[in-house]
Structure 1
Amino acid sequence: MGYFGHRRSWHAVILALVLAWGLICVGPAANAGSLISPGMLDVIRKSAEPFGLFATRLSGGGLLDKWNGVERKLEDDMVQLALCDGDRERCVSPAALQFLAIVDGARAREGRARLGEINRAINLAIKATSDMAQHGQIDVWSSPLATFASGAGDCEDYAIAKFAALRMAGVSPEDIRIVVLRDLLHGEDHAAVLARLDGHWLMLDNRRMAMIEDIDVRNHRPLFVIDDDGVMRYDDQSPSASAARQDSAPAVAVNLVTRADFASNSN
């Protein structure tokens, strides 16, 4: 609590040090329309998680239950993918072979190019379709092979597939997250994968081909972050958001897009 009590004095000291080191950058993160208020990013990132925000691990709730169910499906998918990867001629799953082809393309690249290959390839492999249209239910989270078998899915299905593909392509689990965000412009929730590269979190989003850093995301509020250890809820410090906190799963609504809507610029 002492930190907040002396925030201005700390800010002055750290700002002076930053100026002395010549590390000040003036960029989009300081704009009024940024995701996180400038006061939270002008000094130091507070957390190693995407968006620099602290997060609290959940011990229960609807979103955790949903993710636990996905993890069980992921384990089955990984076994099938490993078998097919070892003997592709005998692999009887077209979905597994298609997924492995994307992983192969990513393994042949390094760094940002590896992440971009997975983002583009999975965006193009899946047709954006709402859960209601595909499953007759509002919110269904599918495993990668189920999504590739149907060729359709919504935002969280893209995110889960990219989560698995990044792992298979050699990206460390510590550097991969699924994040659920609130789209403030459209009033709906959205899921995407973020991958850390050289200390920077890049968003792999089904709504765009180009990857952007977390600090450049606009008009979204991060709600939950998912990793290999489970689900965490972001600790939103704004008083207006405190009443909205809940452990239950948000209704992750699909953002319908067509391939023509994707940005064509490379990563």
Structure 2
Amino acid sequence: MPYRQPTAAGVRALLQGLTALALCLALAWGPAPAVTFDPGALASYARQHYGAKAGRAVESWQAMLAQAAGLDEQEQLRMVNGFWNNALIGGEDISIWGQVDYWATPLQSLAKGAGDCEDYVIGKYFSLLHLGVAPEKLRFVYVRARIGSQSIAHMVLGYYPQPQAEPLVLDSLIDRIQPAHNRPDLTPVFSFNAQGVYVPGGRRSSVDGIGRWRDLLSRMRSEGFQP
């Protein structure tokens, strides 16, 4: 599939916000257990607060998760990546939420049917956690994406089958999941998860702090998620 129009959620804000996100993962989320929820209650919340269309979108998400449950992780990656790439239209936070930098919950993204690169990654990340993928296998990866003659700030989800393994890249710009060496258009800057911040060629640094990530989790809990 060809590239979608890149919309990196306010590039300047992304450059600042991703560092803040990396610094608050461990304290806010800890060991990142599986994400649980009551399917009926979650769909009901979506309909009540975001409308009937949002309720149907959440039901479609839940149906995908039910189909993916018990499958091998490669198939789960494929299903989750495909669902979120098709569920959202790429946009910028300022046009979607009226804010320069806003981290939407999966429910909010589905209700809008739109999101920036962070929102795709958040949706995929929590979907895979819900399916039981070990959190240490997943990293938020900040990259520079080369699109023609331009280089844009971008975020993808990296799946690491082993700690030192080459990651598979789940990207909102293209649908095919590929190993990192097949994506020369992406230049990694750093990646992070609850275990630490990783810089190419450098040592892992510990993560600490609070910020938008904690606010995101708080909003998810108010919607009915039980992380």
Correspondence for 2:174: 208
Q: Which moves more between the two structures, 66-75 or 147-156?
A: 66-75
User: Between Structure 1 and Structure 2, whose CA radius of gyration is higher?
Assistant: 1
Which of 26, 45, 48 aligns to 1:92? It is: 45
CA distance 1:131–1:112, change in 2 (3 Å): same
* Shift in Å, 1:180: 0.7
Which of 7, 16, 20 aligns to 1:65? It is: 20
In 2: Cα distance, 1:168 partner to 1:110 partner: 14
In 1: Cα distance, 2:140 partner to 2:91 partner: 19
Tell me if 1:129 matches 2:129.
no
Which of 118, 122, 145 aligns to 1:160? It is: 122
The one-letter code of the counterpart of 1:213 is P
Provide the secondary structure at the position in 2 that maps to 1:225: strand
Alignment root-mean-square deviation, CA: 3.3
Q: Structure 2-normalised TM-score?
A: 0.63
Give CA-to-partner distance per residue, 1:154-203, whole Å, 9 cap, x none: 11110111011111111111111110101244221111111123744211
Higher RCO structure, 1 or 2 (CA under 8 Å, sep 6+) = 2
Tell me if 1:189 matches 2:189.
no
- Contact persistence 1:84–1:96 (CA under 8 A): no
- Contact persistence 1:84–1:97 (CA under 8 A): no
In 2: Cα distance, 1:98 partner to 1:170 partner: 19
Give CA-to-partner distance per residue, 1:82-124, whole Å, 9 cap, x none: 3424x55984332654432232222142132111000001111
Q: Structure 1-normalised TM-score?
A: 0.55
The one-letter code of the counterpart of 2:110 is F
- Contact persistence 2:77–2:128 (CA under 8 A): yes
Which of 219, 223, 248 aligns to 2:189? It is: 223
In 2: Cα distance, 1:207 partner to 1:221 partner: 14
CA distance 1:220–1:162, change in 2 (3 Å): same
Give CA-to-partner distance per residue, 1:186-233, whole Å, 9 cap, x none: 221111111123744211111112110012111322112121235x25
Provide the secondary structure at the position in 2 that maps to 1:146: helix
Provide the secondary structure at the position in 1 that maps to 2:167: strand
Provide the secondary structure at the position in 2 that maps to 1:148: helix
- Uncovered stretches (5+) of structure 1, i.e. residues with no partner: 1-60, 238-267
Tell me if 1:149 matches 2:98.
no
Provide the secondary structure at the position in 2 that maps to 1:188: strand
CA distance 1:71–1:150, change in 2 (3 Å): farther
- Contact persistence 2:161–2:167 (CA under 8 A): yes
Tell me if 1:119 matches 2:81.
yes
* Shift in Å, 1:70: 8.1
- Uncovered stretches (5+) of structure 2, i.e. residues with no partner: 1-15, 47-54, 203-227
- Contact persistence 1:123–1:209 (CA under 8 A): yes
- Contact persistence 1:112–1:197 (CA under 8 A): no
Q: Percent identity?
A: 24
In 2: Cα distance, 1:89 partner to 1:165 partner: 14
In 1: Cα distance, 2:109 partner to 2:43 partner: 21
Provide the secondary structure at the position in 2 that maps to 1:187: strand
Aligned residue pairs total: 172
In 2: Cα distance, 1:142 partner to 1:180 partner: 18
